[in-house]
Every structure is written in structure tokens, then in C-alpha cells.
Amino acid sequence: MSKGFLLFAQNTDSVNYVTQAYALALSIKFSQHEIKNVSLVTNDKVPKKYQKVFDQIIPIPWFDETTDTALKGEHRWKLYHATPYEETIVLDSDMLLLEDITSWWDYCGNSDLKFCNQITNYKLDIVNDTYHRKTFIANQLTNPYYALHYFKKNRPAYEFYKVLEFVCNNWEWAYGRFAPDEYQNWLSMDLATAIAIEISGMYEISTDTCSPLRFTHMKTPIQGWTPIPVSWQDTIPYVLNSTGKLVVGNIKQNELFHYVEKNFISKRILSRLQELADGS
Amino acid sequence: MTTGSIIFAQNNSTVDYVKLAIFSAIKIKQHLDIPVSLITDIKSWVEDTYPDHPFDKIIEIPNDTTIQKKHFHDGTLSSHKLEWKNQLRSSVYDLTPYDRTLVVDSDYLLNSDILKSALDNEYDFQIYRNSFDLAGRRNNSEFVRINQYSIPFYWATVFIFNKNTITENFFTLVAYIKANWLYFRNLYSIESSIFRNDFAFSIAIHIMNEKTAGNFAVELPGIMTYITDRDFLVTIKDTSIQFLLEKKDHPGEYIASKTQGLDVHVMNKLSLGRFIDGGSGV
């Protein structure tokens, strides 16, 4: 059964998501022992140098250039239909995979679909994000993170993604119906996923407290700092060393790191990731 | 395999740590039934002054030449700047006569046998990370992480270790951190210039955990309960202790409190000393 990681990139005027996806793919190449397959879904130009790390570069299906939102997130429900793998782990492009996660594949293999529902800050404390997730709490929704999820190519996952497609395409109605309190006036894949779970009744895909799916989330309000700074990179030291260990604020980060701040992928970090991938 | 306890006592001009250590040792023997040894820089003075001391052995160390001073509060309205000799804690690995050692600060009062279960298990190194301020309302963030940007805080007040290569490495690391304190203080963004064993232990545990969430240090049973030096110990009767705890926004006013059968870290050493002398700690 084919397994692989699937990334999505849609560049904006200010952010080159293709470069971020390339950085993530490099990190997958050096950190993973067994499953290193990675494909990219994008309609943007991928430089030749970047192309070799991807198994496949797949155009966004059913793409309509006239549609636009700030996050361009409305296409991400299509990932189920775009994946070339029978088992897929979807990752947000602004992440780095730092350690082997073979055990995640083994665990998730028992399910059709599994969303990450727990995050940590860089101190490795599990965080209940009451800052960004007010509408989830107010409307008693589950707490999925679309940035990290697993699915199989099968009927239950297909049906879930059909519901997610419906929510994404009718998000204002769906938000009004299922998340009216602390109303969020923009389409977020996390909230759309939570509502799709509510509609489909597939609560088990995001309420598994034993699930190993977890990542370090670097949004500054959840780092336990007072006052809250604008940038974590300006607040604590960090280094990606020559053995691929990422140490942030003197704390070595595990497995999956969601750096959030787009300028984190500097020339220096990218060059280090290339060295690590070349040496793996 | 031998099991015993160690207490450090290095007096300064005002605090007789040996007196506190004797009081603490009696309680350790009462509740855990293990021998207690003293590590001090004034062995002959101890033998002359306290001939009926309860110690199994008195181990002499050289006088600590590193002079460090800190404020010792005695309630909210009084404080003294006194010498603080705490540089030799890392040498306990070489000095202890026991295979398994419980190290206890002289101001830590055992009133239960809760640590007995920790002495009976096989973990290499056990220490408190979680703590509870009896006053209940003060900001205790300094005892959660060494600062808000950094690593977890561990209490070097009470810990248990087995003698083996792993713990030898740990204490070597603590000594290295102490010897290079300015560097580590800067690296971990520690504001205070005073060397504290709590900080050195916290950093060393973090490194032993490969700088991530590891399991080198196992939590001791229960929770480290403490009063600060802005509170008073009033009196002790059997396993019950009465305190006066600093009142919020009213300096010099206190709230009465009482514990029963609870081990307590009494940071107001002057108050504890007054009680041991035969009166009230206030």
C-alpha cells in the first residue's frame, strides 16, 4: 500500500509557499527512515532545483483563478482527490519534520481518518489554545488541526471530504449554523473541519486522546509569555544544527515543528536543510 | 545496598544550619528510619557543641571560599544580608557513604513517611518539580520555570539518587555548570547573579534529558510544600505545624495556617531557628 506526505502550496504576493514546501520536503527526506515519499499540490511554478525532492507535482484540481481569499484555503478540501497515495499524511507547508514518525503511520493505519487534536508550545507543554479557538470553545466543537492529518483512500474518508467540500463552499452558512458564537468572518480549514465533523458525526477522528499526532505550534500567544511579542524569532534564540536538531529557547524540538512565521525559512536554514537532505 | 540521608550545614554569622540539620535529622530518622549523615565545614565545632547529635557520620569539607551573599527575610518587614554557602552540593556524589542517598536541606521538615516509597524504588534520580505555596495566592511562576522563556524548575531541596555512572555524570555536569556559571546564566537568561543549586540542577536535568522532555528525573511522591521567608513558622507539635502566612497587600499582617502530617520546606530559617531554641518561631 503506497504511503506518502502531501503538501499544498499556493503562493501569495508576500509568501512563497512553494519554498516552504520545499524546505519541509527536505526535512522529510533527512528525518524519515521508511516513508519519505512527498508530493506537492500547487499551480505555482516550482523551480527545477526543488522538483527533485517531490515524487509528484500535482496541479490543484478544478482550479478557478477568479476565486480568491486571503488564505486561499478554499482549495485544500481537494487534497483527498489529489493525493497519489493510498495512505496520506497532510502537512501544512510552514512546518519541519524533525524526527522519524513511522509509529504515527502504524497508529493511524488502524483508522480511516485522523486529525491532530493536541499541540504543544516550544516548551513542550500541551496547550489548550483559548486565544485563537474562541469560536470552537463557544460552540462546543471538536478541536481538529487540519495542518496535520491522516487519511486513507476509502469510502469513509471520501464521504468526510465531501462534507468538508460542502462546508468550504458554503462556509458563511455553515458558520452561522454551527459556529454562531464568537463568529469568525473568514474561512479557516480548522473551523471548516470541526463543522464537517459535527455534520458527519465522525467525532472519533478528532477526539482520540491517545493519538500521537501532535506538533509544536509557534504562534506567540500560546507560548506562555507576558507580554505577548509579535515574533518568537525576536524573543528566543534558536538553531538548526548540523545533525538536524532544532533547538528553540534551549529546548530541543521533537517530531513536527510549525514555525508559522514565514521568514523563518532564511537562506541559512534552507542551506542547512539541503546539507542534511544530501547527507541522508 | 545501603540507604541513608545527607544534610549539608555550613553556618554563617546568623544562621546555625547545624542546629536546623539536627532538628531535621531527628524527623528523618523518626519517619523513614534511615541513618542520617552531616556534611559540614565545622566538624569539630559540631562535635563540641552538639555532643548528643543524631548523625551516623559527620563528613568534613573544606571551608567554602566563594563568598556569596543574599537577603534572608524574616517575615515581610525584616531582612538580613548574609553569607550563603551553597557551592558544594555537587560533591555529594563523592561524599555520601550510602549507595542510595536522600539529600535534604536543613530547613526541610519531614512529618510523614511519604518519601519511604521513593527510597524503595529503583529510579536513579528522584526530585521535586511540582510545588505548592501554603500561602496559596502568590505568583509562583519562578518555581515552575527558571524564567518564562526557559526550562522547567526543579527543587534541589530534596532529592534521592543511586550511585552509578549515570548519576555520577549528572553531578559532574552540575559541577561543570557551577564552574561556568556566568556562561550558563547567560545562556538560560537567568536574571539573578547568585548561583543557586536549583538552577544548576534544573539545567543539568535538562541536559541529561537531551534538552527535551525526557525522563532522567523522576518526580518524588507528593508535592514540595513550602512557606517562603516572608512567612513565619509559629510552632510544631508532633506532625502538626502552625504558620503565619504573609497577607496579601498588607505588609506585616499574617494569616494563621496549620498543616498536619505534611512535609514542609520552611524557607524562613531564622523563624525555624527561634522555634528550635525553645520558643515560638515568631
Q: A67 falls in which pLDDT band (50, 70, 90)?
A: low
Query: Nearest Cβ partner of B151 from A224, A225, A250?
Result: A250
A8-20 average pLDDT score: 91
- CATH C-level class of A3-279: alpha beta
Which residues in chain A touch residue B210, judged by CB atoms under 8 angstroms apart?
252
Residues of chain B in contact with residue A240, where contact means CB-CB under 8 angstroms, are none
Contact A249, A122 (CB under 8 A): yes
Residue A24 dihedral angles phi and psi, to the nearest 5°:
-65, -40
pLDDT digits (tens, 9 = 90+) for A159-176: 999 999 999 999 999 999
Domain spans, chain A? 3-279
Confidence class for position A63, pLDDT limits 50, 70, 90: confident
- All domains of chain B in start order, with CATH: 3-71+85-224 (3.90.550.10)
Sign of CA dihedral A253, A256, A257, A262: positive
Q: How far apart are CA A220 and CA A234, in angstroms?
A: 11
Chain A's closest residue to B184, CA to CA, is: A250
The answer, for B81 touching chain A at a CB cutoff of 8 Å, is no
* Mean pLDDT taken over chain A: 93
Interface A:B, Cβ pairs < 8 A? 30
Q: Are B104 and B28 in contact (CB under 8 A)?
A: yes
Q: Does B150 contact A249 at a Cβ distance shorter than 8 Å?
A: yes
Return residues 187-226 of B near A (CB < 8 Å). 187-188, 206, 210-213
Interface touch A247/B211, C-beta < 8 Å: yes
- Please name the amino acid found at residue B42: I
Interface touch B151/A251, C-beta < 8 Å:
yes
**What is the arrangement of strands in the sheet containing B240-246, beginning at the earlier edge strand?**
B232-237, B240-246, B254-260
Rounded Cα distance between A119 and A257, Å, is 10
DSSP H or E run through A18: helix A17-31
pLDDT at B80: 87
Contact between residue B275 and residue B235 where contact means Cβ atoms under 8 Å apart: yes
Enter the ipTM. 0.83
CB contact under 8 A, B148 and A235: no
DSSP label of A77: G
Chain A CA closest to residue B212: A252
User: At A131, phi and psi to the nearest 5?
Assistant: -80, -50
Q: Is the pLDDT of residue A72 over 60?
A: no
CA distance B115 to chain A (A): 27
pLDDT at A30 over 70: yes
pLDDT tens across the length of chain B (282 residues): 999 999 999 999 899 999 999 999 999 999 999 999 999 999 999 999 999 999 999 999 998 778 888 899 999 999 889 888 888 888 999 999 999 999 999 999 999 999 999 999 999 999 999 999 999 889 999 999 999 999 999 999 999 999 999 999 999 999 999 999 999 999 999 988 889 999 999 999 999 999 998 999 999 999 999 999 999 999 999 999 999 999 988 989 999 999 999 999 999 999 999 999 988 888
CA distances from B228 to B72, B81, B191, B202, B253 (A): 10, 16, 20, 20, 15
